[in-house]
Amino acid sequence: MSAIVFDLDGTLIDSAPDIHASANGVLADEGLGEITLQQARSFIGHGAGIFVSRLMAAVGLGEDTETHDRMLGNFLERYETEPKLTRLYPNVAETLHGLKDQGFTLGLCTNKPLSPTKVVLRHFDLLPLFDVVIGGDSLPVRKPDPAPLNTVFLQIGQRGLFVGDSEVDAETAQRAAVPFALYTEGYRKTPVSELYHSRSFQDFADLPAIAETLLNRAAAE
């Protein structure tokens, strides 16, 4: 086994500041007050549609379909622009390039819509590293349904390791029955001990050794 699939937001990138700015821009257009960065961070993980639903609830709006669709369209339009505040987590770029150089096949499975996913990957010059990229709108279902992750592995041609940061990622890996490396510095809200994971790590420089151990173990089983 030599396939490693990554989540994006909260795993490879801290995109919460850009998401926060986009959300407050949408709220301003609606004549509504702002949310905090902490609120925006807590809404991330289940895709743009759920994010906007949580945004609406936070400012006291009901579940009105027309309002939701309008705000979602505005949010996506804002968020598909070049990222200004998003940052890679430490040692991410070096680790991804190193894994690629070592012969690992890399994939990406995120609930972020595919278009802004590719925008941010191109911005950081990471898109060429990934053989397969699945976004939140690539299939009829999103994580934690295991179908998107299974699709990435199917297109790669082999099973492997999933790397993510959140409750959604942990459940996805568990339902897909694959090893899971949990990055502890992302958007997780639950204690590490309560989440499904094979190994946890806080520095991407440690991931290559972890990946080799977990993939060798999986191949031997």
CB 111 within 8 A of CB 47: yes
Domain layout of the chain by residue ranges: 3-14+86-220, 16-79
First to last CA, the chain: 11
Q: What is the pLDDT of residues 85-112, one digit of tens each?
A: 999 999 999 999 999 999 999 999 999 9
203 annotated active-site: no
Q: For position 29, what pLDDT does the model report? A: 94
Q: Of residues 7, 14, 165, 169, which has the active-site annotation? A: 7
pTM of the model: 0.90
Q: What CATH number was assigned to the domain covering residues 3-14+86-220?
A: 3.40.50.1000
Measured distance CA(151)–CA(139) in Å, rounded: 9
Share of the chain above pLDDT 70, in %: 100
Q: How many residues comprise the chain?
A: 221
Split at pLDDT 50, 70, 90, the class of 154 is very high
Continuous segment of H or E residues that includes residue 213: helix 207-220
Split at pLDDT 50, 70, 90, the class of 218 is confident
| DSSP bridge partners of 181 | 163, 199
Q: For position 81, what pLDDT does the model report? A: 84
Mean per-residue pLDDT of the chain: 94
Q: For position 207, what pLDDT does the model report? A: 98
Q: Which CATH architecture has domain 16-79?
A: Orthogonal Bundle (1.10)
For 3, 88, 150, 167, the CA distances from 99, given in Å and listed in that order, are 10, 16, 21, 25
Residue 43: how many CA atoms within 13 Å on its side-chain side? 24
